[in-house]
Chain A
Amino acid sequence: KAGVTQTPRYLIKTRGQQVTLSCSPISGHRSVSWYQQTPGQGLQFLFEYFSETQRNKGNFPGRFSGRQFSNSRSEMNVSTLELGDSALYLCASSQETGNTIYFGEGSWLTVV
């Protein structure tokens, strides 16, 4: 069974640009959540989706958004990139609510 797949793995963007990151959950998993990891703040929750609905959102500005498609694949978007958005963005999936939660390898975003 394939794990959580995130694309792209690495990307470099310029301040002011926008970026879209993609996540394919484990087959059969309907819950997808996103986390940001930085050296200073550690791992922080961005949002969680279940059956195409955002059910929960962390304390991030509106520049951070996401969506989930009918096949459970999810995307997150960051608009008007700032230097501080440089981070590892991790996607996680689970079958139901909050039991075994598996993470992908992450997307490394560098903003210059």
Chain B
Amino acid sequence: GEDVEQSLFLSVREGDSSVINCTYTDSSSTYLYWYKQEPGAGLQLLTYIFSNMDMKQDQRLTVLLNKKDKHLSLRIADTQTGDSAIYFCAESIGYSGAGSYQLTFGKGTKLSVIP
């Protein structure tokens, strides 16, 4: 079965780097995603990585994928107070034969940025 795990809390000082880790179990995942959720809001797509890539960088965000260990990480450089939110890791799993997919999410990591 599919399962995505993340640590629940992370606290960093403003200006430092944040690293949020995630492990997943389904080796057939095609895409892996990071979403951000602020209080009372929906999910904001931060970035995603295709399963045949090792790394993707997008401004302050760096995603690393270790497919052998099924480990995904999100690094946020120069973390700001506005980065305080819950971050969800998700894997996209195809539904065979139908061309469909579904996302399986971790429980989310609450990032607190200390000014």
Residues of A within 8 A of B (CB): 4, 6, 33, 35, 42-43, 45, 48, 50, 55-56, 58, 88, 90, 92, 97-106
Contact = CB atoms under 8 A, between A and B. Distances in A.
Q: Which residue among A56, A88, A92 has the maximum number of chain B CB atoms within 10 Å of its CB?
A: A56
B107 A90 contact: no
A93 to B, nearest CB: 11
Contacts of A48: 95, 100-102
Nearest to A41: B107
Interface of B: 30-31, 33, 35, 41-45, 48, 88, 90, 92, 94-95, 98-108
Nearest to A44: B105
Given A42-B105, A43-B105, A56-B95, A104 B42 contact: yes
Contact of B95 (A55, A88, A101): A55
B16 to A, nearest CB: 28
Nearest to A49: B100
Contacts of B33: 101
Contacts of B107: 42
Contacts of A50: 99-100
A98 B104 contact: no
A3 B13 CA distance: 32
A85 to B, nearest CB: 19
A98 to B, nearest CB: 3
Contacts of A100: 45, 48
